Homo-oligomer: A and B are copies of this chain.
């Protein structure tokens, strides 16, 4: 029951839960996509169930040994590590298709907590069955390795961002990357830009900045006409400025902004 220990808020709008693995929206990128369609029977057998959680819910706490592994089907999750002095580091923002709960520490505990930023839907797999399941289906190991390698790449970029760039460039870089990931995950986007369900505190904790300084920097960026982040929605105004003034290579987010 350890996966039930966390805080669980009721979702207000029920996100879609896949009924059939072959139709799952994240199948292409998620772990399960490594299995051929004719093996989904095995998969559905291994799977323990689906769950829908409200924003603010906790999939697992730092230090937990969760009994379940989570396949994120819909919604955003943040991974955060807390220090004894109360400081908090956001390690990653996690989007649909990710797999959570593998990669515990040597002692089996999780080094970070996983907290839902939005209403979220996941499907669950029993950790205990993982070894024998991957033994039967080694393709999963390759896919798992691929997912984890991508996560490691993000961790490296985040480290570089925090270690090498000044505050504004850090913020621009983080938001650019998130916007790009959000779109390729098919995030909601209207004429006001892309929805990024973050608070300024999340940004600060991800970047090693205080939330009040983040607020100042966001004002500067807005006044300079570079980007606007407000109410959880990001609009990129000046792609050239990203590159020239902040040394960010605009990824796949070209058609997000209005082009100054």
The reply to whether the CB of A207 lies closer than 8 angstroms to some CB of chain B is yes
List the B side residues contacting A158 at CB < 8 Å: 159
How close is A167's CB to chain B, nearest CB, in angstroms? 12
| In the complex, chain B residues whose CB is within 8 Å of the CB of A155 | 152, 155-156, 159
Q: Output the residue of A148, A160, A162, A208 with the most chain B CB within 10 A.
A: A160
A residues 73-119 touching B (CB-CB < 8 Å): 81, 83-85, 87-89, 91, 102-103, 105, 111-112
Residue of B nearest to A90 (CB): B163
User: Cβ of A145 < 8 Å from any Cβ of B?
Assistant: yes
Q: Chain A: interface residue count, which band?
A: 35 or more
Q: Cβ of B247 and Cβ of A84 under 8 Å apart?
A: yes
Chain B residue with minimal CB distance to A79?
Answer: B156
Chain B hits for A145, CB < 8 A: 141, 144-145, 148
Q: Mark A131-158, 1 if CB is under 8 A from B, else 0.
A: 0001100100110110011011101111
CB contact list, A202-256 vs B, under 8 A: 205-208, 247
Q: Quick check: A91 and B159 within 8 Å, CB to CB?
A: yes
Would you call A1 an interface residue if the criterion is a C-beta within 8 Å of the partner chain's C-beta atoms?
A: no
Residues 11-44 of A, flagged 1 when their CB comes within 8 A of B and 0 if not, give 0000000000000000000000000000000000
- Cα of A103 to Cα of B146 in the assembled complex, Å: 8
Closest beta carbon of chain B to A144's beta carbon, Å: 6
Most buried by B among A88, A138, A163, A247: A163
Known: A83-B165, A89-B159, A134-B142. 6 other contacts (CB 8 A): A89-B160, A89-B163, A91-B160, A105-B153, A112-B156, A162-B208
Q: Which 4 A-B pairs have the closest CB atoms?
A: A163-B208, A138-B138, A141-B141, A155-B155
